[in-house]
Each structure stands twice: as structure tokens, then as C-alpha cells.
């Protein structure tokens, strides 16, 4: 009798264990398959397409709305959730496909969640991501659905540069829902009070800083909080030395200890030493707009998204906000500005791939591409979309970039490989707090970059 | 009948066992397995033996993180544990005791994330209540969360604020279980309050003290959420503890194998310290009783 019960219990346990193993290991199995065999990945992509087409067709017959998940990391500050919700309402109304945004408050958690889900059948349909190197690592693993045909369809509506940025080895992925320049925001009231005007060159810029400083106003905001904002000034000063140097540095063709790179850091250091930056202990999203509004800080270098979702959201009156493009410290570097592209990508393993591509087609078009941009008052990527909604300050930035033929450079976060960027931002923080240790920091940065490039050249 | 009862007992523990097995043991062994691989979480894992463990000893950031963890453990034993004991002792039998107990206990009912956000605002350089208060006395503003090593201590103050309550409650439980006759007898014999506490109350609190210390040590080793919300281990990785380093390597840097190795080391340290401490304390308790 006892033996019988032991056997029954053992069988139950064995079944439980058998069920548990695939559960625990399912992610790894899918990952390995996707990574090892391109053919298998292509088949995986094809399979959901059929399923998605069938699902969409079946649901359309019933008159039901197809729901697409959209994971994004802009659920904290800035908060894009209401804009994505609005976008979802619009696509539901027009296409019968509802986008359901799922916000994540922090970037690391968002990235790890998306990366873990992409190889599985629970992959999000759509997700926001970053361009260039950050996108490439997903493409290399066959985790993204192609959008080549859609880019071909809309090719006359996009600049060549943007099309190229979304094309890897002749294939395109995702689309750009908005794009942002990185100008210098300034407090118009403070500038008016001190009789300052927008600087046109480096000398004028330094003059502005001196005047602000001598009147008890910290010229610029700078922070080491939240890690990533430390690259803001770095990219500005390297680009201001030589835009080609910036690109070469990002692509591993130049070392961080290169004398020209060091010269860029030294300009940055000289401004820190002169007290032209706030204490780096401030928060760029809570303290900085508050100080800007109260006239304690004169200028903040940030993406154009900062205008609506940070400054205006923090209560800064729109007529108080001006913007100019920060001049290069070296005249030979020419006129340069950082561009941040904002891609939405489609998972290869999306259960609703057909619907996801349909919605992508709409959002790439002139009308669809305007939805998010008009809500966030940011730049649409489609050249044929309306720009009427843009505030004057942003219209002016766009026209300056176009009319004065600015060099547009990719933001550091996307322009250099992720493993380098993630470690470099901590080194930039160290530099901001200890600018006298520049040589050691440059040497550390070389070690970080060399480690990556030696394994990935 | 006896066998039937045994089987029923096994059935009752089966759901709990399955939960622990599926959600703790399987991932735990999976984690140990992955610690021997170089893996970015997406591509095929590459077996590298104990390479990740060797890397730990060469990684200066790991050493900083390890030192910070030790600071956290020591600080936790001094302030939240000892502070909890003091509060429990002084709150016993005073007027409005329950009111004060509630005041000290409330913080533990708030999640770590919410606590982190609240204290982030309090520590804010520009709009924080602490700097606003200090500025009333003409003091300079302090960057609580970005000045090294002040940031680690600012985090520890927040941690103490939250952990005091739970330790206080545990010590109060212990104090309640001490027979009044023994303390009264000591006082009749001429012992003053301090002597009664040191020679009667404190030794009798040993079982609960053991529990509090083991729990507090384990909690301080694995603290993550508070640090992540408040500093993300920064600036320049200065406030990372082992749990934060593990998260960063695993999820930010996508070094799944290396992150797994850190978590294995962390687990071994926690289990080893708890086991040695418990073994010694249990021995003493047996001698005492």
C-alpha cells in the first residue's frame, strides 16, 4: 500500500517537473533557434504572418478591433503615454486597429523586458527603440520584422538620410514616429533683462555665459543624475571640435585619448572650472526646469522633446522659452546639430504582424506621421506632413538647420555601440565631478572602447 | 490509515512545494548554469567555464560594489537593528506608546519604490525639503545623492527610516515574552535599570535578536530597489551594491552570464553568513537554556 502511494506521488511529481522544465527553458530554446539559424528565423517570421493574416481577417469579419501592444519607456518623465494613447484611438477609429501603449518608467527595465520578450511568442507587437547601433543588435538576431516595402512605398516622403538610417544591408526595419534636434533652450526673460541676444559664434556664446555668471545666474544646466544625460555635453564638445572626429570616435576609428578628443574635453573642463554649469547634483527633469523658470539657470541643452514634455509640463510659460543652436567652439568644425531619431519597431514574432504592418503603413504616411508629432509638438519625420502645429521656436530651429545647411549628427546614445555607451556615460559622470582626472578617464574610455572593437571589428 | 495520513500531508504541501520548485529552485539552478556562459540574452550562450568568476576578481567595479555592500550590512546592524531595539525598549510602557509605535511602523508599509521617490524629492538639491531647511540657517545646498560617499549614507538614512519599524516590532514581541518576575527580582536584588537591561533583558532577547540580525543582514545584502530608484548606483557606479551591480550587468549591459555569477556569489555570501551566525547563536541558546 505504502509503495503504491509512493509510486503515485512520484508520477505526479515527475509530471510536474516535466511541465516545469519547458516553462523555465522556453526562452532559451527560442533564442538559440533564432540566433543559430537564419532560415529558421525566416520561417518563424513567416509563420506568424499567416496566423496574423488569418486572425486579422477573422476579427475583421466579426467587426472586432485588433489590439496591438506598444511597449515604450517614456512612462516617467517625459511622459509620452497620453500621446501614444491618442495615437491608438486614431488608428482604432480609422483602421479598426487599436494601439495599446504599455509604459515603463525606466529605460533599463524597459530594455531588458523587450529583449527578453522579443525571441518568444509573447513578443510585443510594436515597441519604441533607438536607431543605429541599438537597432542593429536586434536586426543581427533576426528579431525585427522588415518594413522595406513600406519604406519603398513612402520613399518620396522621407529624406534620404532618414531612409538610410533605417536601412541595414539593403533591408529596412521599423519607422520613425518623430525626430528631435538638440538645441540650447534659453530663458527669454533673463536674456531680455540682461540685454543678451542669441549667440551666433563661440565668442558670443562665451560672452553670454560670462554675462549670466556675473549676474548671479548659472549659465547652463548639467547633471550626473540618471546616468545617460552625461553624454549631452560630451557630444556637443567633440562635435564642436570636428564633426568627422565625432563620427570616427563613435565608430571606433579614433581613440578617446586622441589629442583632438582631449581638446574637446578640455574646452568642456574650462567651462566647468569657470562655474558655467550648475552643480551636477541637480535633476535634469525636476530641478532644471524649475531653475530655468525661476531664472536661476539661463540655458539648458536638450532635445526638442524637452520643450513640451518637460519645460511646458513643469509650468514654464511658452513665451519664456527661446532656443538657438549652440555654436561650435572651433570655427573649422562648421555648423552642427545633434539629431535624435525616434523609431517604433515591429517584432518578427508579433502575433499580429499583418495588423502591425498595416498600422505602420498608416503611421508612416503624411497624416499618420503627424499624429504623435502634433501632440508632442515635435518634428514629424514625413516631409509631407503638416508643420502648422509646431510652436514658432521649433519652426525657427528647423528652418535654421535647413537654411544654414547644418551638419546633422546622430546622438551618441545611438551612434556608438551600446556596450561602449553604457559604460562611457559613467565615465563622463566621473569627468563632470572630477575634471582634473581627465587623462585617467580618457585612458579608461579607451579600454572600454578597445574591449568592444577588438571583439566586434 | 497511517499511510493515508502521510499521503494527505504530502498532498497538502504539494502546491507550496511546486511553487517553490518552479519559481525558486528551477530558476536558481538555471542561474547557476548560466553563470558558466557568456551570453547577451539573445544570441547563443557560449560556455566559458569559470571565466565569469575569474572576471569578478579583476573587476574594480565589483570590488567597489562589494565594499559598499559591507558598509550597508555594518550600518544596518548598527542603526536599523540597534535603533529598533532602543526604540522598542524606550516605548515599552510609556504614555501614548501605541501612537509612537504606529509612527515608527508606518514607513515599512510604504513600498521601496515609493519610499525612494519620496526621499528623492526630499534630497533634491533645488526643491528638496532638507536643503530648504538648511538654507534657513544660511547653509549651502548639498547634493545628497551625487556627492560620493555622502550618497551612500543618504541612502542608508532612507533605509534606516524604513527598516526601524519592523525591527522595533520584532523586539517588542521579544520584550513582551520576557517574564516580569525576572526583571522585578533583579530590581529587588538592587540592580538598576541599565543593569537589568544588560544582564536580564538583553540575554533573554537573544532568540529574537538572532532572528532580527539574520533578517537584517540578508535584507541589506540584497537591497536593490531603493538604490535603483534613488541613484541607479551612480554617479559613476559609486553607490552600487552587489544586487545593483548584478542588475546592471544582467539587464543594462546584457552580460547575463556575468550577472548570474554575481548573483551566485551574493547568494553564497548570504547563506554562509546566515548559516554560521545561526549555528553559533543556536549553540549559545542551547547552553543558555
> To which CATH superfamily is domain A184-339+400-456 assigned?
Periplasmic binding protein-like II (3.40.190.10)
| Residue of chain A with shortest Cα separation from B126 | A287
pLDDT of residue B3: 66
pLDDT of residue B288: 53
Q: The C-alpha cell of B149 is what?
A: 560617499
| DSSP output for A357-384 | HHHHHHHHSTTHHHHHHHHHT-B-SSTT
- Residue B286: helix, strand or coil by DSSP? helix
Cα A84 from chain centroid (whole Å): 16
Q: What is the mean pLDDT of each run of 10 residues along chain A (457 residues)?
A: 51 44 36 30 33 40 79 84 92 94 87 90 95 90 95 91 88 93 97 97 98 98 94 98 96 97 98 97 94 97 93 95 98 95 95 96 94 88 89 93 92 93 96 97 97 89
Q: Please report whether residue B45 resides in a domain.
A: no
CB A288 within 8 A of CB A297: yes
Question: Do A184-339+400-456 and A40-179+341-393 have the same topology in CATH?
Answer: yes
Q: Please report whether residue B249 resides in a domain.
A: yes
| Residue A160 burial (CB count, 10 A) | 8
Q: Please report whether residue B17 resides in a domain.
A: no
pLDDT of residue A56: 43
Q: Please report whether residue B271 resides in a domain.
A: yes
Count of structural domains within chain B: 1
H or E segment to which residue A101 belongs: strand A97-103
Mean pLDDT for chain B overall: 90
Overall fold of domain A40-179+341-393: D-Maltodextrin-Binding Protein; domain 2 (3.40.190)
Residue the block writes with cell 491608438: A88
> Which of B10, B127, B234 should be substituted to probe chain A, the one whose Cβ sees the most A Cβ atoms within 10 Å?
B234
Every domain of chain A and the residues it spans: 40-179+341-393, 184-339+400-456
| DSSP output for B87-105 | HHHHHTT-TTHHHHHHHHH
Which positions 123-182 of B are in contact with A (Cβ < 8 Å)?
Answer: 124-127, 141-148
Q: Please report whether residue B166 resides in a domain.
A: yes
* This model's pTM is above 0.90: no
Sheet holding A297-301, edge to edge: A218-220, A297-301, A184-187, A321-324
Q: What CA–CA distance (Å, rounded) separates B82 from B243?
A: 24
pLDDT of residue A108: 80
Return the CA Rg of chain B: 23
Q: What CA–CA distance (Å, rounded) separates A287 from B120?
A: 11
* Maximum pairwise Cα distance, chain A: 98
- Residue B46: helix, strand or coil by DSSP? strand
- Closest approach of A105 to chain B, Cα-based (Å): 10
pLDDT of residue A440: 96
Cα B243 to Cα B62, B75, B228, B263, distances in angstroms: 11, 17, 10, 7
pLDDT of residue A63: 62
| Phi (first) and psi of residue B85, to 5 degrees | -65, -45
Q: Please report whether residue B98 resides in a domain.
A: yes
| Domain limits for position B86 | 62-288
Q: Please report whether residue B109 resides in a domain.
A: yes
Pairing of strands A297-301, A126-128: unpaired
- Residue A391: helix, strand or coil by DSSP? coil
| Phi (first) and psi of residue A390, to 5 degrees | -65, 135
A348 touches chain B (CB under 8 A): no
Cross-chain Cβ contact A141/B124 below 8 Å: no
Low-confidence ranges of chain B (pLDDT < 50): none
Specify the CATH number for the domain of residue B134. Answer: 1.10.3720.10
pLDDT of residue A35: 30
Q: What CA–CA distance (Å, rounded) separates B5 from B59?
A: 55
B62 touches chain A (CB under 8 A): no
* Span B79-107, pLDDT tens digits: 999 999 999 999 887 888 889 999 999 99
Selecting from A5, A116, A290 the residue whose C-beta is nearest the C-beta of B3 gives A5
Handedness of CA A85, A88, A90, A92 (dihedral sign): negative
| DSSP output for B190-214 | T--HHHHIIIIIHHHTHHHHHHHHH
Q: Please report whether residue B273 resides in a domain.
A: yes
Contacts of A224 in chain B (CB under 8 A): 146, 234-236
Q: How many residues would you count in chain B?
A: 289
Which regions of A218-266 does DSSP assign to beta strands (E)?
A: 218-220
Amino acid at each position: 500500500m505504502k509503495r503504491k502511494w509512493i509510486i503515485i506521488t512520484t508520477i505526479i511529481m515527475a509530471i510536474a517537473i516535466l511541465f516545469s522544465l519547458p516553462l523555465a527553458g522556453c526562452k532559451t530554446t527560442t533564442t538559440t533557434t533564432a540566433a543559430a539559424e537564419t532560415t529558421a528565423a525566416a520561417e518563424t517570421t513567416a509563420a506568424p504572418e499567416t496566423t496574423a493574416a488569418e486572425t486579422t481577417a477573422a476579427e475583421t469579419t466579426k467587426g472586432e478591433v485588433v489590439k496591438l501592444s506598444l511597449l515604450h519607456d517614456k512612462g516617467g518623465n517625459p511622459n509620452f503615454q497620453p500621446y501614444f494613447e491618442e495615437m491608438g484611438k486614431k488608428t482604432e477609429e480609422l483602421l479598426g486597429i487599436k494601439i495599446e501603449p504599455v509604459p515603463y518608467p525606466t529605460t533599463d527595465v524597459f530594455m531588458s523586458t523587450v529583449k527578453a520578450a522579443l525571441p518568444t511568442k509573447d513578443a510585443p507587437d510594436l515597441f519604441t527603440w533607438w536607431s543605429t547601433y541599438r537597432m542593429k543588435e536586434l536586426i543581427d538576431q533576426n528579431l525585427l520584422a522588415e518594413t522595406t516595402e513600406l519604406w519603398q512605398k513612402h520613399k518620396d516622403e522621407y529624406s534620404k538620410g532618414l531612409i538610410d538610417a533605417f536601412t541595414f544591408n539593403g533591408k529596412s526595419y521599423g519607422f520613425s514616429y518623430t525626430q528631435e534636434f538638440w538645441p540650447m533652450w534659453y530663458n527669454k526673460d533673463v536674456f531680455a533683462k540682461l540685454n543678451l541676444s542669441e549667440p551666433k559664434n563661440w565668442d558670443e556664446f562665451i560672452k553670454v555665459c560670462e554675462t549670466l555668471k556675473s549676474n548671479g545666474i548659472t549659465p547652463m544646466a548639467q547633471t550626473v543624475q540618471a546616468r545617460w544625460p552625461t553624454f549631452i555635453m560630451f557630444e556637443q564638445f567633440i562635435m564642436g571640435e570636428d564633426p568627422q572626429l565625432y563620427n570616427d570616435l563613435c565608430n571606433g576609428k579614433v581613440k578617446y585619448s586622441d589629442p583632438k578628443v582631449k581638446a574637446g574635453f578640455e574646452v568642456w573642463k574650462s567651462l566647468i572650472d569657470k562655474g558655467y554649469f550648475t552643480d551636477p547634483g541637480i535633476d535634469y527633469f525636476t530641478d532644471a526646469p524649475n531653475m530655468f523658470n525661476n531664472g536661476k539657470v539661463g540655458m539648458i541643452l536638450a532635445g526638442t522633446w524637452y520643450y513640451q514634455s518637460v519645460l511646458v509640463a513643469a509650468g514654464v510659460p511658452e513665451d519664456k522659452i527661446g532656443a538657438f543652436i549652440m555654436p561650435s567652439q572651433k570655427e573649422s568644425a562648421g555648423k552642427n546639430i545633434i539629431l535624435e531619431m525616434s523609431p517604433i519597431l515591429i517584432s518578427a514574432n508579433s502575433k499580429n504582424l499583418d495588423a502591425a504592418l498595416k498600422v505602420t503603413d498608416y503611421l508612416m504616411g503624411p497624416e499618420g506621421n503627424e499624429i504623435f508629432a502634433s501632440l508632442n509638438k515635435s518634428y514629424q519625420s514625413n516631409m509631407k506632413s503638416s508643420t502648422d502645429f509646431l510652436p514658432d521656436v521649433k519652426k525657427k530651429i528647423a528652418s535654421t538647420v535647413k537654411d544654414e545647411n547644418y551638419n546633422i549628427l546622430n546622438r551618441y546614445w545611438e551612434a556608438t555601440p551600446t556596450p561602449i555607451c553604457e559604460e562611457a556615460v559613467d565615465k563622463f559622470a566621473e569627468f563632470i565631478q572630477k575634471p582634473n582626472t581627465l587623462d585617467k578617464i580618457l585612458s579608461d574610455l579607451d579600454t572600454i572602447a578597445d574591449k568592444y572593437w577588438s571583439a566586434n571589428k | 490509515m497511517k499511510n493515508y495520513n502521510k499521503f494527505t500531508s504530502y498532498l497538502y504541501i504539494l502546491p507550496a512545494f511546486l511553487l517553490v520548485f518552479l519559481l525558486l529552485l528551477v530558476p536558481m539552478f538555471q542561474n547557476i548554469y548560466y553563470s558558466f556562459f557568456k551570453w547577451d540574452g539573445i544570441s547563443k550562450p557560449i560556455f566559458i567555464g569559470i571565466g565569469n568568476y575569474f572576471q569578478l576578481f579583476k573587476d574594480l567595479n565589483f570590488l567597489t560594489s562589494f565594499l559598499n555592500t559591507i558598509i550597508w550590512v555594518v550600518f544596518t546592524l548598527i542603526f536599523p537593528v540597534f535603533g529598533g531595539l532602543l526604540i522598542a525598549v524606550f516605548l515599552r510602557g510609556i504614555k501614548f506608546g501605541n501612537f509612537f509605535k504606529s509612527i515608527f511602523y508606518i514607513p515599512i508599509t510604504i513600498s521601496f519604490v515609493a519610499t525612494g521617490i519620496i526621499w528623492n524629492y526630499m534630497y533634491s538639491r533645488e526643491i528638496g525639503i532638507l536643503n530648504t531647511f538648511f538654507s534657513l540657517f544660511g547653509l549651502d545646498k548639498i547634493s545628497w545623492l551625487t556627492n560620493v560617499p555622502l550618497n551612500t549614507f543618504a541612502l542608508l538614512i532612507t533605509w534606516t527610516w524604513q527598516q526601524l519599524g519592523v525591527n522595533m516590532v520584532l523586539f517588542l514581541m521579544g520584550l513582551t515574552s520576557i517574564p516580569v518576575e525576572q526583571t522585578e527580582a533583579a530590581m529587588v536584588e538592587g540592580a538598576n535599570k541599565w543593569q537589568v537591561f544588560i544582564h536580564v533583558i538583553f540575554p533573554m532577547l537573544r532568540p529574537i535578536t538572532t532572528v532580527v540580525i539574520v533578517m537584517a543582514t540578508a535584507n541589506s545584502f540584497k537591497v536593490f530597489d531603493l538604490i535603483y530608484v534613488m541613484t541607479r548606483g551612480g554617479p559613476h557606479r559609486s553607490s552600487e551594491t552587489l544586487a545593483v551591480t548584478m542588475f546592471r550587468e544582467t539587464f543594462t549591459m546584457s552580460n547575463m552570464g556575468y550577472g548570474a555569477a554575481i548573483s551566485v556569489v551574493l547568494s553564497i555570501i548570504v547563506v554562509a553568513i546566515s548559516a554560521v551566525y545561526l549555528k553559533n547563536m543556536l549553540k549559545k541558546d542551547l547552553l543558555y537554556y
